[in-house]
Amino acid sequence: MNNSPALRLGARSFSTIMATSLVGLIAFGWPLFAAPSSSVVAHSTDAPWLFAIIVPLMLAVVVSSFTDGGMDAKAVAMLGVLAAVVAVLRPLGGGTVGIEPIWVVLVLGGRALGPGFGFALGAVSLFASALITGGVGPWLPFQMLAAAWVGLGAGLLPKFSGRAEILLLAGYGAVASFAYGLLLNLWFWPFTADLPEAVAYVPGAAVGENLVSWFKFTVVTSLGYDIPRAVLTVTLILVAGAPILNALRRVSRRAVFDPRPAFVTAGPRQ
């Protein structure tokens, strides 16, 4: 069945997503390309705050969707409900290794309601949960961006239906779980002191050398979180993915996230 996305990507919202993603790639990837004498490396302890521009850019995605007609009151309501669900679910995994059921909501929400909605949901829900749990800090823009990419990617997956779609989403959920951990490691890895030489960041080193160190750092510090996150996400999608997708699509159809019909005056009958 054909489903209209809850947040259609108009020219402004598409451009804002692209601009935000570009800034995000720079924010995440600068350690791999910065020269040792660059001001970013010289002030590395301040670098995360310099990239806090990501936060207003994320919010601009939602604002721009209003201006180009991509989001109406019903889509905003849906976004608020799902962001609230994520904000409630996120503290449940606090202190428990990798137990993070929020990724199921982001993956299925992006899949059912479109890539633009998935991007906005990832950013808004992580921001809201940080306010509730007191998790606001230099890491927040990076968490928001990585979660937004997860929702965006789910909406851009190829079209499948039935069991094949659930298997596709389960595989994507596993990949996204590991990718999220890998990306979040990249933002604080350069600032982590007293690391063994094999996993330490070396300013100005060859890109390949720092890439290997980053992957090793992830294996040593992050896989204990990433594997349980992936297992839980895959399990929940396989068990509950179909009914949740159907429910989201049913709500989307009833809300009619479509352009408003235009009425024209009929001509005289012949």
Query: Is the per-residue pLDDT at 260 higher than 80?
Result: no
Query: Is the per-residue pLDDT at 42 higher than 50?
Result: no
pLDDT for position 151: 94
Please report, to the nearest 10 degrees, the dihedral formed by the alpha carbons of residues 108, 54, 9, 66 taken in order: 110
Query: Is the per-residue pLDDT at 87 higher than 90?
Result: no
Please report, to the nearest 10 degrees, the dihedral formed by the alpha carbons of residues 14, 67, 83, 47 taken in order: 60
User: Taking the alpha carbons of 68, 72, 77, 82 in that order, is the dihedral positive or negative?
Assistant: negative
Query: Is the per-residue pLDDT at 158 higher than 70?
Result: yes
CATH 3.40.50.300 fits 11-255, yes or no: no
What residue has token string 């079209």? 159
